[in-house]
Amino acid sequence: MPRVAADQYVSRVRMPEDIDRFWEDTLAETAKIPLEPKVVHDPLRSTERIDVYEVFFTSLDRVRIAGWYATPRDREGRLPGLLQVPGYNMEPPVPKAWANKGYAAFSVAPRGKLRSNRQFNPGYPGLLTYSMVDRNTYSYRGFYMDACRAVEFLLSRDEVDGERIGVTGHSQGGGLTVSTAALRPEIKAAAAGAPYLCGYMDAIELTDAYPYQEIADYLRLYPERLEQVENTLAYFDGINLAHRITCPIIVSVGLQDSTCPPETGFAMFDAIASVDKQMYAYDGHGHDANNHEHGAIVDDFLAKHLRP
């Protein structure tokens, strides 16, 4: 049977009735934990125009999370804040390029990343399937909260305008952009590239590429756990979180993406509640989602909403 067009695909993901309660309870549990931020100026990575800081804060389960924070030295008034969230295998970059464009930019390293892996380190592969049969201990529960707490760090900074905070990322960063915009109403603009963590169970049927095939590998070993896995992942699926997104958002996909199938990106996009949303679908592109050219669109979009 021929594969249907990506924008016509119907996801088989089902939304748990208590998904909003689950995340409200998780956010409330996280909020009870003091942020305890530590901010240390890094003269080696700073420049004449940009100050760079190494940051640590406390997240869910009292896990200490690291990040890089960068601000322009030459500024007037409070700055728009921008959270940059990382891909699955990548380490968070120092966000000097965003600071150079006028943002107070924070590049967070959620649990398991370097500098955030002393208390939790399932490895790669491993993160995607860690405790996948229990929604309360599944790896991405803490991972999503780490990104949400990074927003709280930006809100805590005197130099940041709390009414102008955005989030952006590609691949896993695209998925985290979706979840963070869904769970933190303070986000005023979001740009998600080739979003991962959307349509988990769809993806293992649509692609034989990793990381999603980690789930298929797991189920080959433990076929009796299929229902538990589906039930758990439904709480973390971007398709099921998208109804909580009300801010302006743009999404990009590569129509030949074998890592994050474009069908899952379209299904997530269709579920977004915001009336101000735009999909960019790039034919002839894979997981890069034409990032070379799309980057300028992201720049203009964020500037429009965060730096008018």
**Active-site residue list:** 171, 257, 292
Residues 6+ positions from 72 with CB-CB distance below 8 Å = 49, 50, 51, 79, 99, 100, 102
Angstrom distance (rounded) from CA 174 to CA 191: 7
Query: What is the distance, to the nearest Å, from the Cα of residue 203 to the centroid of all Cα atoms in its chain?
Result: 18
Helix runs in 45-138, H state only: 96-100
Angstrom distance (rounded) from CA 84 to CA 98: 9
Q: Are 216 and 275 in contact (CB under 8 A)?
A: no
- Burial profile 153-176: b = 16 or more Cβ within 10 angstroms, e = fewer: bbeebeebbeebbbbbbbbbbbbb
Query: Any idea of the CA torsion for 49, 50, 51, 52, to the nearest 10 degrees?
Result: -150
Angstrom distance (rounded) from CA 253 to CA 275: 19
Strands (DSSP E) contained in the chain are 38-41, 50-58, 64-72, 79-85, 104-109, 160-170, 187-193, 249-254, 277-282
